[in-house]
Chain A
Amino acid sequence: MSRSVILKSSIVKKYWMALTGLFLCLFLVGHLLGNLQLFAASEEGRRAFNEYGYFMGHNIFIKILSYLTYISILFHAIDGILLTVQNKKARPINYVKNNAGANSSLASRSMAILGSIILIFIVTHMANFWWVVKMSSKQMPLHSIVYTDQKSGMSQDLYITHSGNMLPTAYFESSEMAPAQMKIKNGTEFYSAEGDLLIGEGYKDMHSLVYAFFGHDKTKYGFPENKLALWAVIGYVISMLVLAYHLMHGFASAFQSLGLRHPAYTKLIKGLGTGFAIIIPLLFAIIPIYIYLTK
């Protein structure tokens, strides 16, 4: 295939749109399966989710998939913008009266605007979670528990390590009397202050991050109170509604662009697309609502 065909042809642009779009549909399924674990609000659920988060951050295949996802999102967005600009140019003068509702669905005519809203959502979503967990220079709070001794009634905060040991968080605090005995390096590693010895590794407390973001009081684990939690939930739910509309047309449209159309299967693909467009965003949206209502 010549280079000009790969880059310029309208049909190839649509192929890229379809391929990246369908890959992102697969990503949505994976992301949703991970998120559904958030329904477990208990201490076990928190531990399980944070262990899952550690796995997602340290598995090479997940890493490859995540880079493919970033590339797909960028490609899908840039290709979409290029296509939209060309499409606008193709009709310099609009109709005075256009009864478009008579021949096509609103979703199919609004893909660019729906996609733009989803892109804005992705940026804010990544700023709220991805940035805090992976990029920010600020230490992300690690998984700690509050342990209360039954006899004495004294309580202390303990970090949990991968090997299942506990480390009092007090070890990491310096006071006027004495310097800190331990320190955290590379985000999750516990080191002794003297001798620089690796003692263990902790978990980033992503479960509490999400719960705090959607309204729970997790100040005891080091997360500030989110006064805008209700707006976060509303914004999230609206974004999922937009995603649903985008998928309502996008899922089946991708198959058409790839030339996968046949009287025997097209009905099935359209049905699958509608189901996908309703079920996936709905399940995504229920999670923050559930978290907010149980605060």
Chain B
Amino acid sequence: MKLTLKIWRQKGPNDKGQMATYPIDGIDGDMSFLEMLDVLNEQLIHKGEEPVAFDHDCREGICGMCSLFINGEAHGPDRGVTTCQLHMRKFDDGDTIYIEPWRAKAFPVIKDLVVDRTAFDRVMAAGGFVSVNTSGNTQDANAIPIAKADADKAFEAATCIGCGACVATCKNSSAMLFVSAKVSQLALLPQGQVEARDRVLNMVKKMDEEGFGNCTNTGACEVECPKEISLDNIARMNREFMKAALCHED
């Protein structure tokens, strides 16, 4: 397979950056998208050029490390997969492929296609946890009965890998799908109730502070999410937020 790649190159956070064109040949349909980029980088290194920097880790679609805005879509044209699980058979011989980093004020570019997603970590630190007693007599989590439907919904929310595709896809760079998945996961379980009010208020406050945009319910995030996290979570977070905001005593 012969392709033309148009890739965002940026030397560092303060570099202006620009699109660069790379022709590439000999790409097999069974290669993953990242393997295709590995091939490109091998060639660049052989030529003495700087390889393209991109994030990756597990390469099996569960770590949330890989990103890339491919041909105008987060994680490329396939549905329900991360970039590492996107195969080159989804493209045709002779295609031109645009590869860009996530674009958001809250996700500044570090180099080439690598962006800084620690804004998500700071949102998590603001409330995306449950405080448990670790003094040695911790209660068995399974001792608390949980309705099957709630457990299922919490699990679905928990499958969010925090890759940032929702932010990258959203025309407003809103992080609502990510934050709502994290809020929902804990709001649905009894263990999450103790801190429920503070959690949603603090996480939303942090989300706003980090410079993410507002949700306009376009639904693009839900479509592009590699874990197919539902907009149900955003509605749940909106409810949780109002409940907390109306009852909070300060």
Name A's B-contacting residues (CB within 8 A): 1-2, 5, 8-15, 83, 86-87, 89-100, 102-105, 108-109, 111, 249, 252-253, 256-261, 263
Contact = CB atoms under 8 A, between A and B. Distances in A.
A109 B220 CA distance: 10
B74 to A, nearest CB: 9
A117 B140 CA distance: 59
B159 interface: no
Interface in B70-84: 71-73, 77
A11 B214 CA distance: 8
A90 B245 contact: no
B224 to A, nearest CB: 5
Interface residues of B, number: 51
Contacts of A89: 105, 211, 213
Nearest to B224: A103
B144 to A, nearest CB: 25
A147 to B, nearest CB: 58
B234 A99 contact: no
Given A10-B215, A100-B171, A104-B218, A1 B231 contact: no
Contacts of A256: 217, 231, 234-235, 238
A1 B73 contact: no
B172 A261 contact: no
A97 B238 contact: no
Given A5-B245, A14-B214, A95 B238 contact: no
B207 A10 contact: yes
B172 A11 contact: no
Interface of B: 6, 8, 19, 69, 71-73, 77, 98, 100, 103-106, 169, 171-174, 201, 204-205, 207-208, 211-220, 223-224, 231-232, 234-242, 245-246, 248, 250
B239 A108 contact: no
Contact of B213 (A15, A91, A94, A99): A91
18 contacts: A2-B248, A5-B245, A10-B204, A11-B204, A11-B237, A15-B242, A86-B214, A90-B105, A91-B104, A91-B172, A95-B100, A96-B6, A96-B19, A100-B171, A104-B219, A108-B217, A256-B231, A259-B236
A259 B72 contact: no
B72 A100 contact: yes
Chain B contact residues, majority secondary structure: mixed
Nearest to A111: B216
B104 to A, nearest CB: 6
A1 B223 CA distance: 34
Contacts of A9: 204-205, 208, 241, 245
A10 B19 contact: no
A94 B208 CA distance: 20
Given A10-B208, A15-B242, A87 B171 contact: yes
B72 A87 contact: no
Contacts of B174: 10, 87, 90
Contacts of B217: 108, 249, 252-253, 256-257
B112 to A, nearest CB: 14
Nearest to A6: B245
Contacts of B237: 11, 259
A91 B100 CA distance: 14
A186 B219 CA distance: 53
B218 A99 contact: no
Contacts of A263: 232
B238 A257 contact: yes
B214 A97 contact: no
Contact of A14 (B232, B238, B240, B245): B238
A87 B213 contact: yes
Contact of B103 (A10, A83, A95): A95
User: What are the 5 tightest A-B residue pairs by CB atom distance, in nearest-first order?
Assistant: A99-B72, A90-B213, A259-B239, A261-B235, A87-B172
